[in-house]
Structures are given as structure tokens and as C-alpha cells.
Structure 1
Amino acid sequence: MRFIILIKSRITPILLLFLVFFASCKKDPNKQVDEGKVEAGFYHSEDIGWTMEIPQGWEVMQRDDVQDQSDKGLKAISETIGSEIDVSGLKQLINLKKDRFHVFLSTSEKFDLTYEGEWEENNEALKQILYDTYTDRGIKVDTSSSSSNIGGLDFNVFSIKLYGPDDKVILYQDMYNRHINGFDFAATLNYLKPKEKNEILRAWKGSKFK
């Protein structure tokens, strides 16, 4: 089973709730992405054939901030599964933030299918690993699976509620993913408040795919 491949494109969201702050991005946003282009308030990925508008008030995250959190997530998952993970093929696409709790993350990684149903099988295995990564660290979570149509394409959605010590929800995570153009494509929405959730969800649902 090649579920390790899929893990790489989801490592960024893990443990993101422990961030104290994100620095504002004052650099060229096109230097903060591994693939695609930011122009006139839109992001476009050639690999995925995906275009999304950047909502007002949301900023492109700096590469160093994203890498720092990716490293934390990678370490957490490696400890959970008991092996190292190679992330050399992972591409950071557009990553946006409003504040510490409201973040949009997107990644892609080449995923060549070797048999029918392989991607779906790996995706199911990934859900358990994500659940275990949180619970192994004493974080109480609830999870659910669903599907959603984004820009005319059906995406798998894995939703996570994270709770604090007082059983109050401290973060929601909705992880959207699908196999597209030979890539494992993932987009994650981290949110807490309805207003900010609706802002980024509106932009994400307004995505266009070739």
C-alpha cells in the first residue's frame, strides 16, 4: 500500500493550531508558491488546471512560515507511523491566512495510479493516520467524511473538530482532496468563526477547473 504518498500532501495542516502568529507577507507572492502564478487577485495552477480568487483581507503566506509548520506536521506523522517520510515531490500551491485560526492551504503531488481504486484506498488509510496523529498527542477530535462539488468537480471531504481541555471546539479543519491530472490535490480550510469560514469557502467554491 502506498498511503505514505498521500500523507505528504496533508502534512501542513497537522498541528497548525499551535501557531502563535503568522508574519504578514511583504514579499512577492509568486515566490511563495512552488507551482502556479498569483496575478490580479487570482491564483492559477497549470498542473491542476485550477483558478481561485484570493478573498479580500486574506494574505499569501510566506514560504518560511509554511515550511516551519510542514516540518512540525511531518515530524508528528512520522512519529505516529514509525517511519520517515520523503516530501521531495510535494508542491506548495496557494496558501492564505486571515489570522492564526483562519487559514487556507493547498498542495499537489504526482500520483501515478498502478491499479484501479488505489487512490481511494490510500485516502481511506490517510484518514486513520490523521486521526491517530491527533489522538496520540492527547487531542480530542471528532471526524466525519462527506463529498462536495467544487467548480464542477466532486471532492472527498474529511472534516475534523479539535477540542480543548474544557471540551470546547478550538479549531475546525475541512480537508478536500481528489486525484486530478495525475496529481493528488488537497485543499484544507482551517477556521473557527462563521464570517471568516464563509469568506474563504466562497472563494474556494468559486474555483474554476479546466
Structure 2
Amino acid sequence: MITYKHSLLFILVVFFQNCNGQKTAKQEIHNKDFNWTITIPENFENLSSADWTKMQNKGTDAIEKTFEGKVINQSKTIFVFKSDQLNYFESNYQPYDPSVDGDYLESCKAVNEILYETFKAQMPGVKIDTTRTVEQIDNLEFQTLTMKVEYPNKMVLTLLMFSRLFDKREFTVNIMFVDKLKGQKMLDSWRQSKFIK
């Protein structure tokens, strides 16, 4: 049995999506669990939980095929929005207890490696470049993975995963895009979001 971060599922499932949502004007979302407020850019569609579950199942299958193990998903989705194909904005959290689950930074490193290996195995022929950094969002430190996936047709998919612990919960924001302008809008929205302390 294998336990993987929900973020892996998010990043993989967008390749297998075919769902419709409701387009939105720019809207503010407040999550009371993390005292977090973010403004979603306009013209992003809110995905239903039923559509998101279907997509997650496809991502789970890709990981299980690559690593020949069972994926356990304990995450809770905060939101999932998309704009056109392959431009996604998602946030989630899941339990994480360092005394049980191990060192958090080591876990982040392992997840990055699993993500890289899954892409490599499931998408032969792509070029993958990854970078790990730390970024401050509203004076809070987030472990950040940047991954650029270049397809043989020269299309570039950029993935950004921001994660940190809040007590015994891991909070994650994922941004995935092929359209640089939409990617920048999502990134600006995330960087301008606020956590009330």
C-alpha cells in the first residue's frame, strides 16, 4: 500500500480530463480552516466534486501503474478551477504528522521524485526540468516545486506546487498551465492571497 500526496493526483489527472464547469467572474474565496483568503481570476470554471473525483481516479491509476502499489488519498479539496484545457488552479489539505509520517522536507523531496518518475514512465518522449525552492507567501514559508514539461510538439506545461505544514495538516496550492498569461494570473492571485494569523 502506498500513500502519496494529493498534489500528485492533481498534476496527473489534468491529462485525462474532459469536464465542464461554470465560468466565474473574479471571486473571493475564504477558507476558515486556514484563515486564508484568495481571489480567483475571472473566466475560470469551478469544477464540481463529481468531475474532480473522476479525474482523481485517472491520476491514481497512473501512479499505481508506475509504482505497482495502492494509492491512499486522505486529502480534502478546498477548490479546483480551470480555464480552457491544461490551465488549472487547485488547493487541498491532508493530515500530516511528522512523528508518524516522517520528516516533512524529506517527504516533499520524495513526492517530487515520484512525480518526476511518473511523468517519465507515463509520457515517454517529454523533456522534464524540475526546481525546488522556498517561497514566502504572506510571510509564510512554502516548499515549492517548479516543473516544466516540454512535449515533442514543443508545447510546454508548467507545474507549480506550493506546500507547507499548519500544525498536523499539510496545505497545498497547485498551479498548472500552458498559457503563460493565465499562469501568471493564477500565480499573482496566489502570491497576493492572505493568511490571517
Same fold judged by TM-score > 0.5?
yes
Structure whose residues are more often strand by fraction: 2
Instruction: Find the counterpart in structure 1 of residue 58 from structure 2.
Output: 72
Of 75, 81, 91 in structure 2, the residue corresponding to residue 96 of structure 1 is: 81
Aligned AA for 2:14? Answer: L
Residue 132 of structure 1: how far off its partner (Å): 0.5
Of 91, 95, 108 in structure 2, the residue corresponding to residue 106 of structure 1 is: 91
1:13 aligns with 2:23: no
Question: How many aligned residue pairs are there?
Answer: 193
Question: Counterparts of 1:49-198 in structure 2 under 5 Å?
Answer: 49-87=35-73, 89-114=74-99, 118-137=103-122, 138-140=124-126, 141-166=128-153, 168-198=154-184
Q: Which runs of 4+ in 1 moved over 3 A?
A: none
**What CA RMSD, in Å, does the superposition of the two structures yield over aligned residues?**
2.4
Residue 185 of structure 1: how far off its partner (Å): 1.2
Distance 1:200 1:152 in 2: 19
CA shift digits 1:136-180 (9 cap, x unpaired): 1215222111222112211111111112223x1331111111112
Residue 181 of structure 1: how far off its partner (Å): 3.2
3-state SS in 2 of match to 1:136:
helix
Return closer, same or farther for 1:116/1:16 CA change in 2, 3 Å cut-off: closer
3-state SS in 1 of match to 2:92:
strand
CA shift digits 1:66-90 (9 cap, x unpaired): 1122111111112222210222x21
Q: Unaligned regions of 5+ residues in structure 2, if any?
A: none
Distance 2:195 2:70 in 1: 34
Return closer, same or farther for 1:6/1:150 CA change in 2, 3 Å cut-off: farther
TM-score by length of 2: 0.87
Distance 1:49 1:6 in 2: 25
CA shift digits 1:47-81 (9 cap, x unpaired): 22211112222232111221122111111112222
CA shift digits 1:96-123 (9 cap, x unpaired): 1111121101110011220797111111
The percentage of counterpart residues that share the same residue type is 24
